[in-house]
Amino acid sequence: MLQVNNINVYYGKVEALFNVSFEVGDNEIVSLIGANGAGKTTLMKTIVGINKVQSGNIEYNGKEISNQHAHKTVYDGIVYVPEGREVFPQMTVYENLEMGAFSKKYTKGEMDDHIAEVYDLFPRLKERSKQAAGTMSGGEQQMLAIGRGMMSDPKLLMFDEPSLGLAPVIVDEMFRAIIKINESRKTPIVIAEQNAFMAMSISKRTYVLEVGHIVTHGASPELLNSPDIKKAYLGG
Ligand code: ATP
């Protein structure tokens, strides 16, 4: 459904992605792993239209979307949940969720249904629906960022470092929620992570980025057993 073909992306004169090709199939969870600064965020922001492609192209369901405006890409159903959550701190949980649907013209009933779906996935958010988002824990804010991403009825979800800074028990909860979204809605999901083990454990396929290059890709269970990957990304 998504095909990134040989893209090159620059920040000014500095190249950040070199001939990167990347694919996501229907219903698939794909992980993108790599160290700090490898280019994971750059790739996701390029797919969504925030960064520009210098050469190569991006196709989504057969349609060329390279360099299209980000709001159009969101309208097409590609949703990027950024690293660091970026919830609106002064707004309540409920209002943040409503903001996630800004590109849609939902009826009151549709809005309620989408909010109910998010609350079903994260009951904690329901309990805190009137609380200002900025006063919540990091884990709760991450749940809200994911929930907000779901509000626009995404056809492809991309999560940037969803486990960043979270306690292990919350990380488990987050990854279970991601699996549930994929299984219940059949939404394809891309997860960029430094927590390679978790991301690879729940994904079908993995791409490894190193300083702007895809150095390896393949089935996640196979890469989890690869001595090179173990040494570089799995702590032995
Ligand atoms: P992290 O896990 O730290 O977010 P990442 O794999 O997502 O890492 P990117 O944030 O995509 O990596 O960064 C890739 C490269 O591009 C890095 O060398 C980074 O310094 C550079 N870079 C990222 N954003 C910008 C920017 N706005 N201007 C200039 N260079 C940038």
Token pair of 188 as six digits = 């394809």
pLDDT of residue 86: 84
Tokens 């791409």 correspond to 207
Q: Is 89 in the pocket of ligand 1 (CB under 6 A)?
A: no
Q: Is 17 in the pocket of ligand 1 (CB under 6 A)?
A: no
> What residue's CA is closest to ligand 1, atom 27?
11
CA–CA dist 176, 18 (Å, integer): 33
pLDDT of residue 84: 75
pLDDT of residue 83: 84
> What residue's CA is closest to ligand 1, atom 29?
11
pTM flag (> 0.85): yes
- CA-based angle 205:208:211, to the nearest 5? 160
Per-residue pLDDT of the chain (236 residues; tens, 9 = 90+): 999 999 999 999 999 999 999 999 999 999 999 999 999 999 999 999 999 999 999 999 999 999 999 889 988 999 999 987 789 999 999 999 999 998 888 999 999 999 999 999 999 999 999 999 999 999 999 999 999 999 999 999 999 999 988 988 889 989 999 999 999 999 999 999 988 999 999 999 999 999 999 999 999 999 999 999 999 988 86
DSSP 84-105: T----TTSBHHHHHHHTTTTS-
pLDDT of residue 85: 75
Token pair of 236 as six digits = 């032995």
DSSP 9-67: EEETTEEEEEEEEEEE-TT-EEEEE--TTSSHHHHHHHHHTSSPPSEEEEEETTEE-TT
Q: Is 46 in the pocket of ligand 1 (CB under 6 A)?
A: no
134 secondary structure, DSSP code: G
pLDDT of residue 165: 87
Mutation choice for ligand 1 from 8, 31, 40, CB with most ligand atoms inside 8 A: 40
CA–CA dist 101, 149 (Å, integer): 8
pLDDT of residue 222: 96
